[in-house]
Structures are given as structure tokens and as C-alpha cells.
């Protein structure tokens, strides 16, 4: 009901119409809010099912450096969980489990995710391939197809503008860890891994890449509970084994792996002429079981061995030789001597 003179009533009607027009214009804001909610839900959904992430291609260049904060909450929580060592304490068995899980899963990443899935430097059976994918997935570095697709892209455009983790192009922090938080980089470019994407079991593992890590974490907790009951003199517990054996070792493996993307393109020596800044780094080679011979690798990426000379320690290669000796893998690609000894820098 309008109260006032006819002219005032007319003005109020006009004002009400304007208000209604203004309200009608708000669906644009509402649509934006709805779009944001959908994005948040898709990001959270990506914790459980990578299929909701969307296509790899994105014409918006701003997406290259836009952090998906909701999507990386589990990654941040994994780091924060390490602080719980203050409350759970330590024991020799827990620290030993952390070291063992570091070495084992570092090998799974370097030997399987890198040298097999990314570069196909040796052969195995289909069953072996799936088991290697499960093993690599336990390191919590996403699925085998995602890992291989991004790594192959890196080799195609190493240290060029389109290299998503180039320290030369984007600085240390982004090349080390920032790039994996980017909204654009969560998707898997299946076109880059057609040889692997034809296997449904690998696509399943790539889609649900948190299943194996969760099972591993639960297993470490149950191991601690069992040891607490069976061997109380070892002074461990379920939560202590979970923190040391899973969270601390996982974060250590992650940052050691990340250092190959960042530090080996910044610190070290160059033996071979190359179009990028890849370098050999002895300390990182020890830390990553042989991945630190990065200039060697970029010079001849198809070799199963990255320490080209006998004095270049490559623990991953030694372990692959053991697997070859027992028949689990075969046809390890070697570095031809004439290739190895050519193109040295003065």
C-alpha cells in the first residue's frame, strides 16, 4: 500500500520499479557466486575423484599461476601433520620406519614413475606395470598418468616459457612446489600418455589416486598399534608410526623429488651441451637415489641409468638391475658409449 500524494505515490512506484530492475540485474552476481560454489565443490571433489578436475587445456593464461587453495588443503594438511611429532614423540623403530619408507618410496618414484612410466627405459609385464603404478602412487605424488604426462611435457619444453616448473622462467619457489598448486596443472593430458592411457587399470588408479596413500597411512597406524601391544619395549604407538612412517617420510620424499625440478636447474655442473639449464648435482643424486645426474638425463633421457660413469652413484639403477636379475623387468636401455663420450663441454 502506497501512502502520500499522487505525485509521491508515482515516485514511489518508479523507485520500486527501479529497485526491482536493480534486483533483476543481480542474477549476474548470483551466477558468479554460483560459479564459485561449483568451483569449490569441484576442487573438494578432486580430493576423491580426479575426473571432476576438467580438461587440461585452458586458454586463460591467468590459470597458469592461480592457486587452487581448496584443492591443495590435503597437501597442506600433510605438512601440518608433521608438527604432531611434538606430541607423539619419537622412537628408534618409528624413525627407522620413516627412513625405510623414504628410501623405498623414493625408489618407487624414480624407478617406476620416472624411468618406466615417463621414459619407458625398460620393459615389464602388464601385471608388473600395474604393481609399479600402485607402488609409485604410494608416494602421494598423484597418479602415474598425471606424473608421466607432466614430465614428458617438461622434457619437450625444458626451461622454455611453457615449462610449468622451470626455475629459469618462474623462479625457485614456483618450480619447486608452486606449480603443483596451480588450478591448471591438476588435470592429466591423456594425449601425452596415449601408450599408458589405453590400460583401464592405470586410468582407474590415476582417477582415484588417493586410495593407495590412504590405505598406506591406515596400515602404518595399525602397525604402530600392533607393535604397541606386541612389543611395548619398542615404545611406539599407532599415531607415532602414522606421523613418522607416513607423513614425515611422505613430505621428505616429495621435497626431495621437487628439488630435481628446481635445484638441479640452478645448482651443479654441466657436462653436456644442452638447450636448458639442467645440471649434475652429487648431493641431490645421493638424496634422490640417482636423479641428481640431471644434465646426463636431459642429454639422453632414454637411458635406464642416469649416472653415466661408474663413479656417478645411481642407486635406482642398481635396484633396477636387481629386479632385472630376478626377471621382473628386462631390456634396460643403456647409454651408447659413443653418445655418452660426445658433446662434452670444454
Q: Are 274 and 306 in contact (CB under 8 A)?
A: no
Q: Which residue has the cell 575426473?
A: 51
Residue 211 grid coordinates: 586410495
Residue 250 CA from chain centroid, whole number: 11
Q: Is residue 59 part of a domain?
A: no
| Helix, strand, coil in percent for the chain, rounding step 5 | 65, 5, 30
Q: Is residue 28 part of a domain?
A: no
Q: Is residue 23 part of a domain?
A: no
Domain of residue 134, residue span:
35-47+66-340
56: Cβ–Cβ under 8 A, 6 or more apart, which residues? 149, 184, 187, 188, 189
Q: Is residue 96 part of a domain?
A: yes
Residue 233 CA from chain centroid, whole number: 38
Q: How far apart are CA 91 and CA 97, in angstroms?
A: 10
Q: Is residue 40 part of a domain?
A: yes
Residue 22 grid coordinates: 536493480
- Return the half-sphere exposure (C-beta side, CA atoms, 13 A cut-off) of residue 123: 3
Q: Which residue has the cell 622412537?
A: 91
Strand partners, 344: 272
Instruction: Locate the DSSP E strands across the chain.
Output: 123-124, 329-330
Q: Is residue 162 part of a domain?
A: yes
Q: Is residue 2 part of a domain?
A: no
Please give the chain's pLDDT, 346 residues, in tens.
Answer: 344 444 444 444 444 444 444 444 456 666 656 666 765 666 777 777 887 554 444 445 556 678 889 899 999 999 999 999 999 999 999 999 999 999 999 999 999 999 999 999 999 999 999 999 999 999 999 999 999 999 999 999 999 999 999 999 999 999 999 999 998 899 999 999 999 999 999 999 999 999 999 999 999 999 999 999 999 999 999 999 999 999 999 999 999 999 999 999 999 999 998 889 999 999 999 999 999 999 999 999 999 999 999 999 999 999 999 999 999 999 999 999 999 999 999 6
Question: Structure pTM?
Answer: 0.87
Domain count, the chain: 1
- The torsion angles phi and psi of 139, rounded to 5 degrees, stand at -80, 0
Q: Is residue 9 part of a domain?
A: no
Q: Which residue has the cell 599415531?
A: 239
Buried b or exposed e, range 260-281, using 16+ CB within 10 angstroms: bbbbbbbebebbbebebbbbbb
Q: How far apart are CA 308 and CA 317, in angstroms?
A: 10
Specify the pairing of strand 123-124 against strand 329-330.
antiparallel
What letter does residue 65 receive in the DSSP assignment?
Answer: G
277: Cβ–Cβ under 8 A, 6 or more apart, which residues? 159, 167, 168, 265, 266
User: Between the CA of residue 25 and those of 13, 32, 123, what are the distances in Å?
Assistant: 18, 12, 61
Amino acid at each position: 500500500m502506497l501512502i502520500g500524494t499522487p505525485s509521491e505515490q508515482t515516485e514511489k512506484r518508479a523507485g520500486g520499479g527501479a529497485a526491482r530492475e536493480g534486483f533483476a540485474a543481480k542474477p549476474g552476481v548470483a551466477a558468479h557466486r554460483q560459479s564459485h560454489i561449483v568451483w569449490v565443490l569441484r576442487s573438494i571433489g578432486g580430493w576423491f575423484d580426479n575426473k571432476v578436475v576438467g580438461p587440461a587445456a585452458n586458454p586463460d593464461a591467468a590459470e597458469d599461476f592461480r592457486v587452487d587453495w581448496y584443492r591443495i588443503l590435503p597437501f597442506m594438511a600433510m605438512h601440518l601433520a608433521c608438527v604432531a611429532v611434538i606430541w607423539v614423540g619419537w622412537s628408534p623403530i618409528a624413525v627407522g620406519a620413516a627412513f625405510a619408507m623414504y628410501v623405498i618410496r623414493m625408489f618407487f618414484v624414480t624407478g617406476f614413475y620416472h624411468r618406466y612410466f615417463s621414459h619407458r627405459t625398460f620393459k615389464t609385464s602388464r601385471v608388473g606395470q600395474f604393481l609399479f603404478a600402485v607402488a609409485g602412487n604410494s608416494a602421494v605424488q598423484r597418479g602415474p598418468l598425471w606424473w608421466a604426462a607432466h614430465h614428458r611435457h617438461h622434457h619437450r619444453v625444458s626451461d622454455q616459457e611453457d615449462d610449468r616448473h622451470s626455475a629459469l622462467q618462474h623462479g625457485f619457489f614456483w618450480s619447486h612446489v608452486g606449480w603443483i598448486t596451480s588450478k591448471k596443472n591438476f588435470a592429466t593430458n591423456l594425449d601425452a600418455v596415449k601408450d599408458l592411457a589405453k590400460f583401464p587399470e592405470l586410468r582407474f588408479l590415476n582417477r582415484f589416486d588417493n586410495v593407495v596413500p590412504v590405505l598406506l597411512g591406515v596400515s602404518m597406524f595399525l602397525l604402530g598399534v600392533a607393535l604397541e601391544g606386541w612389543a611395548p619395549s619398542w615404545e611406539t604407538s599407532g599415531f607415532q608410526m602414522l606421523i613418522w612412517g607416513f607423513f614425515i617420510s611422505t613430505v621428505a620424499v616429495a621435497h626431495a623429488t621437487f628439488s630435481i625440478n628446481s635445484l638441479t636447474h640452478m645448482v651443479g655442473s654441466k657436462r653436456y651441451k644442452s638447450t636448458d639449464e639442467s645440471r649434475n648435482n652429487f648431493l641431490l643424486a645421493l638424496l634422490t637415489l640417482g636423479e641428481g645426474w640431471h644434465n646426463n638425463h636431459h642429454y639422453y633421457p632414454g637411458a635406464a641409468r642416469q649416472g653415466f660413469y661408474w663413479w656417478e652413484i645411481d642407486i635406482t639403477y642398481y635396484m633396477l638391475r636387481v629386479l632385472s636379475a630376478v626377471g621382473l623387468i628386462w631390456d634396460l636401455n643403456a647409454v651408447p658409449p659413443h653418445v655418452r663420450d660426445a658433446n662434452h663441454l670444454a
